[in-house]
């Protein structure tokens, strides 16, 4: 089972942006999994990774990426590096990606994977996702890969005018809603996209770090 089996599932789910599909085809999902999971790399399932986290199912990755409406010129913040799979796909579609992770082991492993895959436009940081990365902001796009119980104001403030944030919001381990938030000169507009279930977005660092 490989990309050829996953591709029609993505199309059927509404992932229709040719650039997104091309980026997903170019990134081997097995590179972000443990060897015993290689046989499941192209199933449309979330899979467990270290630190009690998951690698999102490919359809959700595709839909979230598509929702960012990337043109290739954007400066993007990702909150929750995790395995690095989502970041690797984003790196094919934006100018520069800044990715935050609160778990040291995940941060270290993902950074090494980016180097192995020669993804040179990704900058990583061990940090608190609720704080964002104000030193590198503002950002044209922000993507959050864990569910917040509310929209983090610290992140919306780091969006440029005209920027977009995609984030799952809802109660822990219950049905959540994927939101797309637009920032205009008049304020913020929130659009509901589709229901999801993500691991919770936790404040602070798991194992030490910069702040």
| Helix/strand/coil percent split, the chain, to 5 | 30, 30, 40
| pLDDT computed for residue 3 by the predictor | 78
Q: Considering the chain, what percentage of its residues have pLDDT values greater than 90?
A: 83
Residue 206 — pLDDT band, cuts 50, 70, 90?
low
pLDDT at 200: 85
- Mean pLDDT (whole number) for 59-78: 98
Residue 131 scores a pLDDT above 70: yes
Pairwise CA distance, residues 102 & 206, whole Å:
6
Reported residue count of the chain is: 211
**What pLDDT score was predicted for residue 209?**
42
Of these residues, 26, 56, 83, 184, which one is catalytic? Answer: 56
Mean pLDDT confidence for 110-121: 96
* pLDDT exceeds cutoff 80 at 172: no
**Residue 57: CB partners within 8 Å, gap ≥ 6?**
44, 45, 46
Instruction: Indicate if 56 belongs to the active site.
Output: yes
Residue 174 has pLDDT above 80, yes or no: no
Confidence of residue 35 (pLDDT cuts 50, 70, 90): very high
**d(Cα 106, Cα 50) in Å, to the nearest integer?**
7
Question: What class, spelled out in words, does domain 3-196 have in CATH?
Answer: alpha beta
Flag whether pLDDT at 7 surpasses 50.
yes
Q: What's the pLDDT band for 203 if we cut at 50, 70, 90?
A: confident
Boundaries of every domain in the chain: 3-196
Q: In the block, which residue shows the tokens 């192209």?
A: 42
* C-alpha distances out from residue 42 to 45, 50, 126, Å: 8, 19, 29
* Helical pair 3-13 and 18-26, crossing angle rounded to 10 deg: 150
CA dist 80 and 189 (Å) reads 23
Backbone angles phi, psi at 161, to 5 degrees: -65, 130
Partners of 93 in beta bridges: none
Q: In the predicted model, what is the mean pLDDT of residues 115-137?
A: 95
210 pLDDT band, cuts 50/70/90, is: very low
């Amino acid at each position: 089972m490989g990309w050829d089996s996953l591709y029609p599932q993505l199309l059927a789910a509404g992932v229709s942006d040719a650039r997104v599909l091309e980026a997903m085809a170019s990134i081997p999902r097995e590179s972000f999994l443990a060897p015993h999971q290689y046989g499941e790399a192209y199933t449309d399932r979330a899979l467990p990774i270290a630190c009690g986290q998951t690698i999102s199912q490919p359809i959700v990755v595709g839909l979230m990426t598509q929702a960012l409406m990337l043109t290739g010129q954007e400066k993007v913040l990702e909150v929750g590096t995790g395995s690095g799979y989502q970041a690797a796909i984003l790196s094919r579609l934006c100018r520069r990606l800044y990715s935050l992770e609160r778990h040291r082991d995940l941060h270290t492993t993902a950074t090494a994977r980016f180097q192995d895959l020669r993804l040179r436009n990704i900058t990583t940081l061990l940090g608190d996702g609720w704080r964002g990365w104000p030193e590198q902001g503002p950002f044209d796009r922000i993507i959050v890969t864990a569910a917040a119980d509310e929209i983090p104001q610290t992140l919306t403030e780091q969006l440029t005018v005209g920027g977009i944030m995609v984030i799952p919001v809802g109660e822990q381990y219950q049905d959540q809603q994927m939101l797309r938030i637009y920032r205009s000169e008049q304020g913020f507009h929130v659009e509901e996209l589709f229901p999801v279930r993500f691991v919770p977005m936790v404040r602070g660092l798991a194992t030490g770090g910069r702040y």
